[in-house]
Amino acid sequence: MSFAVDLHIGQVIELQVLALIQRKYPCACIVDRFKGYDIWIPEIAKSIEVKSDQKSKYTGNIVIEIEFNGKPSALMTTTADFWVFYDGLQYILLTPKQIIYCIFMNQLQYVSFMGKGDTKPKKAFLVAKDVLFMYGKVLQY
């Protein structure tokens, strides 16, 4: 897939997460052109980063990036209060602290690789989906 297609899919998933959040917090909104997070919930002053890893349906792992091009990224730089992972089947809500706790408690090691479409290497944890999702909460449709 091209970057444009991946971007469009990501935006659709963000809108789906937003719809789920707006059932409880109707003022929640997408935050465009801001690197810190994807959704802002003014009613509770909290933010959400939306991550999609539909390839995990086949690999069984969720990719959690920590470094890109030799610089901290994603989990190491997040300002979001929550992360929502979409695996193509369900939406799971976790805090960054829960993700770090999962990595620590399961003694996971990061791997280095070049992602599809990337021109620079990244470091990431490949966390078994069933393990990571035990630490979170399913968002219901």
Are the C-beta atoms of residues 59 and 44 closer than 8 Å to each other?
A: no
> Mind listing the pLDDT tens digit for each residue in 63-95?
999 999 999 999 999 999 999 999 999 999 999
Average pLDDT rounded to a whole number, residues 112-130? 92
Give me the CATH topology for the region 3-139. Answer: Trna Endonuclease; Chain: A, domain 1 (3.40.1350)
C-alpha 69 chain-centroid distance: 19
pLDDT of residue 2: 63
Q: What is the mean pLDDT of residues 29-53?
A: 94
Question: 136: pLDDT confidence band, cut at 50, 70 and 90?
Answer: very high
Distance CA 27, CA 41 (A): 7
Q: Is the pTM of this model over 0.85?
A: yes
**Mean of pLDDT values over 36-54:** 96
Calpha distance 30→66 (Å, rounded) = 24
41: Cα separation from own chain's centroid:
17
Per-domain residue ranges of the chain: 3-139
pLDDT tens, residue by residue, 101-112: 999 999 999 999
> What single-letter amino acid sits at 128?
A
